[in-house]
Amino acid sequence: MLPMPTRFNLVAGSSEGTTLLNAFDGALLKAGAGNLNLVRVSSVLPPGAVYDEHLSIPPGNLVPTAYGAIDSDEPGTIISAAVGVGIPDDNSFGMIMEVSGRFSKKVAEETVRQMVVEAFQMRNKTLAEVKIKAVEHKVIKIGCAFAGVLLWY
């Protein structure tokens, strides 16, 4: 059995690059996750996980991460990514939602907030708090927007 993460942080960043992959790498670096091996997970916040804004993870680690990302090579395009974490009113599990697309940061934030609310409603859980992190990027040549929730031990 794998250990269950006990801490989490929300990160976001955007970047330009000479290729789509380099733009993604740059966005990860700007978000503070560029030297980690992200292992994409679905959207459940472990029970009792604590928010840690100054979460420090040694480079090279495998890090469970729920994230949204979008890249584009169409100059002038606005792209955004956002993550939202729903924290329950008890010590049970929470929910993580992510969104990315060709829309503004404001739309990304509003969309991900509604996604968190709906996820709680679907589970008949009471929502105590929502944390959101989002980023917007206007593509110059090749750009990427990334937002994620890093889960750690």
Any domain includes 94? yes
Domain contains 2: no
The predicted-structure confidence for 114-153, as pLDDT tens digits, reads as follows 999 999 999 999 999 999 999 999 999 999 999 999 999 9
| The total number of structural domains that make up the chain | 1
104 catalytic residue (yes or no): no
Instruction: Write the CA distances from 22 to 15, 69, 82, integer angstroms.
Output: 9, 13, 20
Catalytic residue among 14, 15, 43, 80: 43
Let me know if residue 1 belongs to a domain: no
In contact, 101 and 32? CB cutoff 8 Å: no
Taking only Cα atoms into account, the Rg of the chain, rounded to an integer number of angstroms, comes to: 15
42 is catalytic: yes
The yes-or-no answer on residue 14 being catalytic is no
pTM of model > 0.85: yes
Does residue 92 form part of some domain? yes
Is residue 69 scored above 90 in pLDDT?
Answer: yes
Domain with residue 84: its CATH number is 3.50.20.10
Structural domain harbouring 82: 7-152
- Cα distances (angstroms) measured from residue 126 to each of 7, 15, 92, 116, 122: 21, 37, 10, 11, 11
Q: What is the pLDDT of residue 153?
A: 96
Catalytic residue among 72, 98, 100, 109: 98
